[in-house]
């Protein structure tokens, strides 16, 4: 999928979530989508979990 199609799909899911569940449901859906993105990138090998942990703990900046 291209970035445009992915962006449209994400926007549609978030719009549906805010219409059906309200703001807090929308926020929860957005958080779970971000978690799913991180897990997917780790499984694809595009994100190093150890490097991410080091960056978040302040041991490395990038």
Residue 28 included in any domain: yes
Let me know: does 57 contact 49? Beta carbons within 8 Å. no
Flag whether 26 is in a domain: yes
Task: State the residue range of the domain holding 28.
Answer: 3-57
Q: What is the pTM of this model?
A: 0.74
Please report whether residue 47 resides in a domain: yes
- 32 domain residue, yes or no: yes
The confidence score (pLDDT) of residue 62 equals: 58
62 domain residue, yes or no: no
Q: What are phi and psi of 11, to 5 degrees?
A: -60, -40
* Tens of pLDDT, residue by residue, the chain (62 residues): 788 888 889 999 999 999 999 999 999 999 999 998 888 888 888 888 898 888 889 886 65
pLDDT recorded at residue 31: 92
Asked if the structure places residue 7 within a domain, the reply is yes
14-30 pLDDT, tens digit per residue, is 999 999 999 999 999 99
Q: Judge whether 46 and 38 are in contact, CB under 8 Å.
A: no
The answer to whether residue 10 is domain-embedded is yes
């Amino acid at each position: 999928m291209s970035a445009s199609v992915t962006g449209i799909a994400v926007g549609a899911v978030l719009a549906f979530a805010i219409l059906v569940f309200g703001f807090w449901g929308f926020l929860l859906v957005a958080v779970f989508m971000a978690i799913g993105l991180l897990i997917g990138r780790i499984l694809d090998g595009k994100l190093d979990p150890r490097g991410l942990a080091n960056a978040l703990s302040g041991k490395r900046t990038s």
